[in-house]
Amino acid sequence: MAGHWYENLTTGEEPHSMPVITEIEDLKRIYKRRVPKMFYDYAESGSWSEQTFRDNCSDFDEIRLRQRIAVDMDGRSTAAQMVGQDYAMPVALAPVGLCGMQSADGEIKAARAAEKFGVPFTLSTLSICSIEDVASNTSKPFWFQVYTLRDDDFMKRLFDRAKAANCSALVITVDLQIMGQRHGDIRNGLSAPPKLTPATILNLATKVPWGLEMLQTHRRSFGNVIGHAKGVSDPGSLASWTAEAFDPSLNWERIKEFRSRWDGPVILKGILDEEDARMAANVGADAIVVSNHGGRQLDGALSSIRMLPRIMDAVGDKIEVHLDSGIRSGQDVLKALALGAKGTMIGRAFVYGLGAMGQAGVTRALEIIHKELDTTMALCGERDVANLGRQNLLLPSDFETRWQ
Containing 53, the helix (H) or strand (E) segment is helix 51-62
Among the listed residues 170, 176, 102, the one whose alpha carbon sits nearest the alpha carbon of residue 362:
102
Among the listed residues 92, 46, 87, 225, the one whose alpha carbon sits nearest the alpha carbon of residue 146:
225
Alpha helices by DSSP H, listed for 246-286, are 252-260, 274-282
Catalytic (active site) residue 322: no
Quick one: DSSP state of residue 20? P
Q: Please report the beta strands in 209-361, taking only residues with DSSP state E, as ranges in sequence order.
A: 266-271, 287-290, 320-323, 343-346
Total residue count of the chain as it appears in this document: 404
Three-class SS state of 220 = coil
Rg (CA), the chain: 20
Given the residues 16, 183, 218, 293, select the one marked as catalytic. Answer: 293
Among the listed residues 342, 334, 338, the one whose alpha carbon sits nearest the alpha carbon of residue 315:
342
Residues identified as active-site: 293
